[in-house]
Structure 1
């Protein structure tokens, strides 16, 4: 996967192969990110020898992953269009309600303008669109110094963090 920002830096290497089609073929020892339906099948079979991660579409039910969360090292959430914000809700649900602590990756139509907001709801890696340089997008993580509302990164709202003189 190219154009990847991970933990606040541009990642030079990434072994994960994103497969958007449930029936896509791959090597038995490959590190793959597969759609939810395929992930559940492969997990039940238990015969995949490489790394196994899941791709959640905007209409996927993240609660289906609950029994697998402890073993999952990576969950990718798809943003098929810049204006589709359902992935933000999925990320926040995974981080806050389901206590997922592994890597949470935004994939699809991911642009600099979104990075700060994506990080606030729990994403820690971002697959930037191939037509945009990751170095420029990385600057998006520092676009805002404060958030008014409580977020995954800063659960206490700004009003309650205010120091009185």
Structure 2
């Protein structure tokens, strides 16, 4: 139903983002081609994603947030893409499998990120003091807690849009 745009058919305001993405991936991914229908959504997602990449959370912790949201929201393309990213980061196969299967992670610090992400989602941000203290007890900061919220927002937008457009 949703158009898989090319550089020629995309709205003009989406084309620069598509070109940058193609330069990074060697092609325009299906999700980007479909999200291009809305330059505001495509550009907004890419800007927020770049902002999330600049946070003080380490790269694997960021991917834990993303995978937790992607699996929860049943976004197959996101799970596949971020599985690949975790592999590039050198994440162990057991960690990736646990994230994909919504199981407890063997790494306590990363499990704290996963649990905090789930708690923020379940309580629409109204996380109790005990849950916040448990997150902070693993060496995370209040800034990190807010960065998790940024990741959740960014990848909720992405997963919902990808599912709506049936990106593969």
Fold-level match, TM-score > 0.5?
A: no
TM-score (norm 1): 0.28
Name the structure where strand makes up a greater proportion of residues: 1
Q: Which has the higher contact order (CA 8 A, sep 6+)?
A: 2
Name the structure where helix makes up a greater proportion of residues: 2
